[in-house]
Amino acid sequence: MVLKLSWKVALAMVLVSALTTLFAAVLTDRALDRQFSSFLDAAQRDRNQQVLETVKELYAQDGAEPSLERQLELLSLAADVQITVTPPPSRRPMHGHMGMGRQMMRQQASEEITLPSGGEATITVLPVISGENTVNEAAFRRTVNKSIFLAALFSLGAALVISAFLSWGLTKPFNQLVGMVRRVGRGEWDAKIEFKGDNEFSFLGREFNQMAANLQQMEEMRIKLTNDVAHELRTPLAGIQAYLEAMHDGVLTADNENLELVLEETERLKRLLQGLQELAQAETPLRTQEKVDLNRMIAGLLDPLRILAEEKDLSLNWQPGAPLYTRGDPEALAAAVRNVVINGIKYTPEGGAVSVKLKEAGAWSLIEISDTGIGIEAQELPLIFERFYRTDSSRSRETGGTGIGLALTAEIIKGHGGRIEVSSEPGSGSTFRILLPRKGD
């Protein structure tokens, strides 16, 4: 049988309380025993001293020896001590009465006195303890031990009750969280958990809710991506199927012109699959961490693109900046910048211009790509980095776009610890700003 966490917590707290109470009881009993013994010893010393003073006063009165011996006997009985005077005036030891059944104790006192006759004597006071005193002392100790035992039992009972409540209060949020985890595991993304207060449990609840929201968002993105991929694949495949069926039925002839149309759809499908593969690679952690010279990288990728710009009678301007460096995959960064420049060339009318600048921006390197193209509507700006999003589907197909290029660029820049921003004015053009952390300058 597996113990629940609440029982484990309760048993642990009870065990700790029991050990603490046991140690406290043992230490308290020993401390009381020492203090009680010290008290008895101190009291006995005071009593012995008082007896000594009394005996000295008796001898100072210079009474008859029989009377003095009787007084010592009475004093011995009253003070529960044995009194010995050595040597007495009669040259034999004089003892106070001891009584029957008495036992000697450790504490004793002695003092030398000068007798009225001029002789010297030693007074010794040796305390004794009777059976009655022993019984009283034992009764006192039993009473103290009983009180300690009852206090220990009360403490253990209180610890058991308190630990039960505390363990229930500690494990209840975990049980609720387990229930929410199971619901989220079943796909109930709207499951939320709320903990009152501002403690670790409430923090855990908020983090769990955020995790559930992220999972829901990821699931929605997965479904959307599946639908988008299916839609994008369906279009070229449907075109290819239509052409082939028409040729098979004799509606179209299988000449070079019609086969060229089928080949174009095939190429579009190939570019789409290639773009998806590149996007998947961009979403994985960087495998290459090299020092990248941004001036050199941008200059190298712009040279082949000048041919595209000249075909549309566009001006492709490059304004290098101070030596700036970052770390990462140079081929991936070149592909990201190339995608933005190609988009600018595609969507800029003849006679326009595309400009690329590199400059410092504090701890960042700023790559600014501007064009004098058709621009982007304000409501579309937050969406242009989404997969398969096109601002104009028909135009994008004519230019061979798949709607993946800017999404790929955003993932590459994000993977290098940077960010990409865009501002645009419809009819005037767009400006993309790529910010990369400066490293290795």
Q: Region 97-119: what's the mean pLDDT?
A: 56
- Are 401 and 277 members of one domain? no
pLDDT at 93 over 60: no
pLDDT at 419 over 90: yes
- Are 17 and 124 members of one domain? yes
Does 177 reside within a domain? no
pLDDT at 215 over 60: yes
CB 421 within 8 A of CB 435: yes
Does 10 reside within a domain? yes
Last residue of some domain: 119, 135, 151?
A: 135
Q: Region 184-213: what's the mean pLDDT?
A: 77
Q: How many CB atoms lie within 10 A of CB 298?
A: 23
Last residue of some domain: 135, 156, 179?
A: 135
pLDDT in tens, 298-307: 999 998 999 8
Does 222 reside within a domain? yes
pLDDT confidence band for 91 (50 / 70 / 90): very low
Q: Region 83-97: what's the mean pLDDT?
A: 56
- Are 269 and 310 members of one domain? no
pLDDT of amino acid 286 = 62
pLDDT of amino acid 293 = 93
Does 170 reside within a domain? no
Please state, rounded to an integer, the average pLDDT across all residues of the chain.
77
pLDDT at 26 over 70: yes
Does 156 reside within a domain? no
The parent domain of residue 56 ranges over: 5-135
pLDDT confidence band for 355 (50 / 70 / 90): very high
Give me the sign of the Cα torsion angle 22, 24, 29, 30: positive
pLDDT at 104 over 50: no
pLDDT confidence band for 94 (50 / 70 / 90): very low
Does 367 reside within a domain? yes
pLDDT confidence band for 326 (50 / 70 / 90): very high
- Are 204 and 265 members of one domain? yes
- Are 240 and 365 members of one domain? no
pLDDT of amino acid 66 = 66
Last residue of some domain: 217, 251, 282?
A: 282
pLDDT confidence band for 397 (50 / 70 / 90): very low
pLDDT at 103 over 90: no
Distance (Å, whole) CA 286 – CA 328: 7
- Are 311 and 241 members of one domain? no
- Are 266 and 299 members of one domain? no
pLDDT confidence band for 64 (50 / 70 / 90): low
Q: Which amino acid is at 59?
A: Y
Distance (Å, whole) CA 355 – CA 319: 8
pLDDT in tens, 226-244: 776 776 677 778 888 888 8
Distance (Å, whole) CA 146 – CA 259: 106
pLDDT at 46 over 60: yes
Considering only 73-77, 88-92, 172-176, 306-310, which range has the smallest mean pLDDT?
Answer: 88-92
Closest CA to 230 of 261, 282, 262, 276: 276
pLDDT at 259 over 90: no
- Are 297 and 432 members of one domain? yes
pLDDT at 100 over 70: no
pLDDT at 99 over 90: no
pLDDT confidence band for 297 (50 / 70 / 90): very high
- Are 359 and 258 members of one domain? no
pLDDT confidence band for 391 (50 / 70 / 90): low
Distance (Å, whole) CA 186 – CA 320: 55
Residue 341's CATH number: 3.30.565.10
Q: Region 316-323: what's the mean pLDDT?
A: 90
- Are 409 and 429 members of one domain? yes
297 vs 387, which has greater pLDDT? 297
pLDDT in tens, 137-153: 778 778 877 887 888 78
Q: Region 385-404: what's the mean pLDDT?
A: 59
Residue 225's CATH number: 1.10.287.130
213-220, long-range: CB within 8 Å, 24+ apart, which pairs? 213/189, 215/184, 215/189, 216/189, 216/190, 219/187, 219/189
- Are 247 and 298 members of one domain? no
Most confident of 85-89, 136-140, 205-209, 424-428: 424-428
pLDDT of amino acid 133 = 64
pLDDT of amino acid 63 = 57
Q: What is the pTM of this model?
A: 0.50
Q: Region 248-273: what's the mean pLDDT?
A: 81
* Structural domains of the chain, count: 3
Does 184 reside within a domain? no
- Are 209 and 254 members of one domain? yes
